[in-house]
Amino acid sequence: MVEEKKPDIGITVKKSENFSEWYTQAILKSGFADYAPVKGCIVFRESSYAIWEKIQQIVDKKIKEKGHRNVYFPMFIPESLLRKEAEHFEGFVPECAWVTVGGDKQLAERLAIRPTSETIIYQMYAKWIRSWRDLPIKLNQWCNIVRWETKATKPFLRTREFLWQEGHTAHATKEEADKEVMEILEIYRDLMENYLAIPVLVGKKSENEKFPGALYTTTLEAIMPDGKALQMGTSHNLGQNFSKVFDIKFIGKDEKEHYVWQTSWGISTRLIGALVMVHGDDHGVIVPPKIAPIQAVVIPIFYKEVEREKILGKAREIHEKLCKEGISTVLDDRTEYTPGWKFHDWELKGVPLRVEIGPKDVEKSQVTFARRDTFERIAVKEEEAVKAAKKLLDEIQSNLYNRARKFLEEHITTVKTYEEFKKVLREKGGFIRACWCLSSECEEKIKEETGATIRILPFEKEKPFSNCIYCGKEAKEVVYFARAY
Amino acid sequence: MVEEKKPDIGITVKKSENFSEWYTQAILKSGFADYAPVKGCIVFRESSYAIWEKIQQIVDKKIKEKGHRNVYFPMFIPESLLRKEAEHFEGFVPECAWVTVGGDKQLAERLAIRPTSETIIYQMYAKWIRSWRDLPIKLNQWCNIVRWETKATKPFLRTREFLWQEGHTAHATKEEADKEVMEILEIYRDLMENYLAIPVLVGKKSENEKFPGALYTTTLEAIMPDGKALQMGTSHNLGQNFSKVFDIKFIGKDEKEHYVWQTSWGISTRLIGALVMVHGDDHGVIVPPKIAPIQAVVIPIFYKEVEREKILGKAREIHEKLCKEGISTVLDDRTEYTPGWKFHDWELKGVPLRVEIGPKDVEKSQVTFARRDTFERIAVKEEEAVKAAKKLLDEIQSNLYNRARKFLEEHITTVKTYEEFKKVLREKGGFIRACWCLSSECEEKIKEETGATIRILPFEKEKPFSNCIYCGKEAKEVVYFARAY
């Protein structure tokens, strides 16, 4: 007889005391991810991958409604192709993984594994686009991406391989491209705030921080519990930078040749990491109901064999009712685990609502709900179970969002001096609202000295309320700084 | 003023006369695929990718109903890991692409890009599986795969990168693994016959042809119009080969340690190539209605401006009605193309049903349908349009299947001598039903001399009707040979 290895126990550190270790344990013990046998990579296990599938469904539906179509381009990009746009190449070459051998042959030209697909896609656009009739082109792909990170990797937030969607469009005019950029940004904001329950600041990136090769970059930025910002998604207007390099021209209605205007945009599996960080607690992950692959789990509780059939029957009935009403529900009727073990396990995984059916519940014709966010337990008459479950899921969704919104608001600090700036960074973190003269030099010095970067330039310009935080000269804009992941 | 490049014209060769060139043109001119700027790779364009999405939906739903869950494992497999199972390594190493450089650093160990994921997945199974409570594990991933083909590549059928799904399960007993293999095979058969309208032969592979590392391989094989067989999907019982190498053990209810029994199975974007080959005609692709992303296209036809609003209004009305009834319909109201050009374009792309609304149709309160498979045109009273459309789509589906079934049946030839065998291969192709003594030597000689391989050993054994086709000794089984893609 062999002794069984002990099952994992819960998270052994507090989120508030050792955030980094808490995150690692939350990810691993919930079964969201595991470290893979290749450095800097993770396995996206079923609990996290199912969230990615929900994100895909939501975004896919919305972009298709707006006329985008999915495609798939090769992940291999010949080095010469990647080199075509100089700024773009410089930006990505330090983090490319290179295939140099195929079978037993050295390749004549090495191939980058896509760090992003502008170059290979736009090479084809040059071939496909001939006249105004071919525009706009609005394509998207869901795929894997490789960036050979040299910084410390972190599950979901920074790994050498991750999953994303990348949209690539070509338009006849700058105005159309501008509009596309903003429409996508709004789809992303809606996903983040209304599904993931993570409030974001939106705006433009500075020239230093924009995408290599873009005219301008728009971004959505969230705040994590340790006070660091996280870039949640970006939507770029590429202008005519790529179309001029790749010779993507069309004959307009004016019968003249023009270069197309382009956009690209993306969100990645990084969002799963954000979700864990923002909502999780000392018991594990908390998944907001609107993005939860499993919204409720029904757990029958019986201690004596005589209670078994009655309680199981009731549990099955409730399970069926909830499913029928569109609540994604699992019945955990496994006999090899105790109810206590199950409570603990589903809490780790973050299922937002637990439905308990015990002897007392059957006796009183009630069910007992337990909220994952507040641990509040609520007994409800059986006939009101569906209605109550829906209401509770809505409340959990709002509560998670409001909690995160409050945290964000409390972590935006306005400063007028560089001393204050450094003090806030040191003591509190979060976003720092400050005035800036628009010079890259000040931006770089601040980054060098404090590690903070400009996260966004808000779309609606505010009147500066002080001189430039760094050089003391006249400020041009009010911007948001933060240290970031 | 610049002259516009001329739009593509139709396919310039006949399918019956130059099948290979016809296929290339059908793929390119329908917008299904394009050659990518990297050798041996294609771009999956929107028309073909949408079919892949339909395949994903159908299969994903069915495997999830059977308790499988989706995940994502890294595509990088360290060489040492790939080497662990010797037979498996030997089978795949000739076609691996190798990453040897990350950023600007030579890697200490080179990484294969997954040609299949058994090794990396089972390394994790060894970590995750402890007791009978953890079984079965039933995971699946949709991902890209790389096989550095040295043979001539062919869009969809054989490219260096393609998309697939790979399922990987672990069970407590061989019986459970056997059952899993057959359940998946049935899901695949249903997809191929009832959605793709491609009849298949199912059975086992011979020892020579089985998956490297498997106990046995089951397969689904179709026949292409040029008489060559195409392997459409496989489902393997891996036995305990991998579990012994990767040390995947569980403690049973008997409190003893056991190795798990495993299966793996997959289908790929190759199916899109099969669909084009089997159903296409000289006008282009034909997509069976049940797998068609667009089932019907409504084309308004007017020559005078006065007719415009009336006809467009009617076209919109029909379009809406069909959509509402669950028929995936597109209204092609573009003004920059003529109706004739549109007919031609949608025929190339293979939309199964065309709905024409012209002046005469409006006048007579009718709509005119045109079937893509037979080109038959049918005028139907407007109020019966939805019912007629549904009926026609069903008929097209059956007709495509029956046509293909007939072709398959006509291309199974029973032979008793090796002379006949070679004659059939030379003159007709298709499957050859013949008797075999089970020796690998005969199998290899036949392959060497004729290029034909054993495609399947039927599940239901038949009594041999002759001696072994090659050696003339006593035959043990009736099997199906063919030349294959």
ipTM at complex level:
0.96
CB contact under 8 A, B120 and A72: no
Nearest CB to B95 within list A95, A103, A161: A103
Whether residue A273 lies inside any domain: the answer is yes
Nearest CB to B38 within list A50, A78, A160: A78
CB contact under 8 A, B69 and A50: yes
Length of chain B: 485
What was the pLDDT predicted at A367? Answer: 97
Q: Is A257 on the interface with B (CB under 8 A)?
A: yes
Point out the domain boundary residue: A247, A279, A311.
A279
A270 and A355: one domain? no
* Nearest CA distance, A321 vs chain B (angstrom): 18
> Which residues does chain A have within 8 Å of residue B77's beta carbon, measured at their own beta carbons?
38
Nearest CB to A336 within list B41, B72, B133: B133
pLDDT at position B258 over 50: yes
CB contact under 8 A, A77 and B43: no
Nearest Cα residue in chain B from A127: B34
CB contact under 8 A, B4 and A251: yes
* Nearest CA distance, A102 vs chain B (angstrom): 4
Whether residue A1 lies inside any domain: the answer is no
Q: Give the C-alpha separation, A483 to A231, whole Å.
A: 11
A218 and A325: one domain? no
For B326, counting Cβ atoms within 10 Å of its Cβ (0-12 exposed, 13-18 middle, 19+ buried), the class is exposed
> Which residues does chain A have within 8 Å of residue B120's beta carbon, measured at their own beta carbons?
36-38
CB contact under 8 A, B96 and A103: yes
Please write the tens of the pLDDT for every residue from A366-400. Answer: 999 999 999 999 999 999 999 999 999 999 999 99
B300 and B227: one domain? no
A246 and A346: one domain? no
Whether residue B32 lies inside any domain: the answer is yes
- Helix, strand, or coil here: B330? strand
Cβ atoms < 10 Å from Cβ of B178: 17
- Helix, strand, or coil here: B259? strand
CB contact under 8 A, A74 and B103: no
Three state DSSP letters for A268-286: ECHHHHHHHHHHCECCECC
> Tokens for B230?
């195409």
Please write the tens of the pLDDT for every residue from B183-225. Answer: 999 999 999 999 999 999 999 999 999 999 999 999 999 999 9
Nearest CB to B161 within list A74, A95, A104: A74
Nearest Cα residue in chain A from B150: A103
Count A/B contacts: CB-CB distance under 8 Å. Answer: 171
Q: What is the CATH number of the domain that holds B342?
A: 3.40.50.800
Could you say which residues from 308 to 367 on chain B have a Cβ atom under 8 Å away from some Cβ of chain A? 336-337
Percent of chain B with pLDDT strictly greater than 70: 98
B344 and B417: one domain? no
What was the pLDDT predicted at A306? Answer: 81
Q: Give the C-alpha separation, A63 to A61, whole Å.
A: 6
> CA separation (Å) from B298 to A474, B145, B171, B312?
62, 38, 51, 10
Contact (Cβ atoms closer than 8 angstroms) between residue A166 and residue A141: yes
B334 and B237: one domain? no
CB contact under 8 A, B131 and A70: no
Q: Is A90 on the interface with B (CB under 8 A)?
A: no
Whether residue B6 lies inside any domain: the answer is no
Whether residue B478 lies inside any domain: the answer is yes
Domain with B81 in it: 19-279
Total domains present in chain B: 3
Q: Is B42 on the interface with A (CB under 8 A)?
A: yes
Whether residue B355 lies inside any domain: the answer is yes
Q: Is B144 on the interface with A (CB under 8 A)?
A: yes
Residue B6: which pLDDT band, with cuts at 50, 70 and 90? very low
> Tokens for A129?
């686009």
Residue A305, amino acid: E
What was the pLDDT predicted at B8? Answer: 57
Nearest Cα residue in chain A from B90: A103
Whether residue A340 lies inside any domain: the answer is yes
Whether residue B358 lies inside any domain: the answer is yes
Q: What is the CATH number of the domain that holds A423?
A: 3.30.110.30
Nearest CB to B72 within list A44, A70, A120: A44
DSSP B281: B
Please write the tens of the pLDDT for every residue from A59-115. Answer: 999 999 999 999 999 999 999 999 998 888 899 999 999 999 999 999 999 999 999
Mean pLDDT of all residues in B77-85: 94
Mean pLDDT of all residues in B442-470: 97
Three state DSSP letters for chain A: CCCCCCCCCCCCCCCCCCHHHHHHHHHHHCCCEEECCCCCCEEECHHHHHHHHHHHHHHHHHHHHCCCEECECCCEEEHHHHCCCHHHHHHHHHHCEEEEEECCEEEEEEEEECCCCHHHHHHHHHHHCCEHHHCCEEEEEEEEEECCCCCCCECCCECCEEEEEEEEEEECCHHHHHHHHHHHHHHHHHHHHHHCCCCCEEEECCCCCCCCCCCEEEEEEEECCCCCEEEEEEEEEEECHHHHHHCCEEECCCCCEEECEEEEEEEECHHHHHHHHHHCECCECCCCHHHCCCCEEEEECCCCHHHHHHHHHHHHHHHHHHHHCCCCEEECCCCCCCHHHHHHHHHHHCCCEEEEECHHHHHCCEEEEEECCCCCEEEEEHHHHHHHHHHHHHHHHHHHHHHHHHHHHHCEEECCCHHHHHHHHHHCCCEEEEEECCCHHHHHHHHHHHCCEEEEEECCCCCCCCCCCCCCCCCCEEEEEECEC
Q: What is the CATH number of the domain that holds A118?
A: 3.30.930.10
Contact (Cβ atoms closer than 8 angstroms) between residue A221 and residue A231: yes
What was the pLDDT predicted at A8? Answer: 57
Q: Is B56 on the interface with A (CB under 8 A)?
A: no
B173 and B54: one domain? yes
3-state helix, strand, coil in chain B (%, to 5): 40, 30, 35
* Nearest CA distance, B96 vs chain A (angstrom): 5
A165 and A264: one domain? yes
pLDDT at position B49 over 50: yes
Contact (Cβ atoms closer than 8 angstroms) between residue A30 and residue A349: yes
Q: Are strands A76-78 and B76-78 parallel, antiparallel or unpaired?
A: unpaired
CB contact under 8 A, B73 and A36: yes
B205 and B236: one domain? yes
* Nearest CA distance, A471 vs chain B (angstrom): 36
> Tokens for B267?
């289908």
Please write the tens of the pLDDT for every residue from B103-142. Answer: 999 999 999 999 999 999 999 999 999 999 999 999 999 9
Q: Is B143 on the interface with A (CB under 8 A)?
A: yes
A99 and A221: one domain? yes
**DSSP states of B178-199:** HHHHHHHHHHHHHIIIIIS---
Interface mutation target, options A29, A35, A43, A120, chain B, most CBs of B under 10 Å: A43
Point out the domain boundary residue: A337, A370, A396.
A396
A294 and A327: one domain? yes
Mean pLDDT of all residues in B345-353: 97
Q: Is A129 on the interface with B (CB under 8 A)?
A: no
Mean pLDDT of all residues in B347-364: 96
CB contact under 8 A, A36 and B74: yes
pLDDT at position B87 over 80: yes
> Which residues does chain A have within 8 Å of residue B130's beta carbon, measured at their own beta carbons?
4-5, 7
pLDDT by residue, tens only, chain A of 485 residues: 444 444 557 999 999 999 999 999 999 999 999 999 999 999 999 999 999 999 999 999 999 999 999 999 999 999 999 999 888 889 999 999 999 999 999 999 999 999 999 999 999 999 999 999 999 999 999 999 999 988 889 999 999 999 999 999 999 999 999 999 999 999 999 999 999 999 999 999 999 999 999 999 999 999 999 999 999 999 999 999 999 999 999 999 999 999 999 999 999 999 999 999 999 999 999 999 999 999 999 999 988 888 899 999 999 999 999 999 999 999 999 988 999 999 999 999 999 999 999 999 999 999 999 999 999 999 999 999 999 999 999 999 999 999 999 999 999 999 999 999 999 999 999 999 999 999 999 999 999 999 999 999 999 999 999 999 999 999 999 999 999 99
Cβ atoms < 10 Å from Cβ of B208: 11
Point out the domain boundary residue: B327, B360, B392.
B392
What was the pLDDT predicted at A1? Answer: 44
B147 and B270: one domain? yes
Query: B47, B19, B20: which is closest to B32 by C-alpha?
Result: B47
CB contact under 8 A, A46 and B37: no
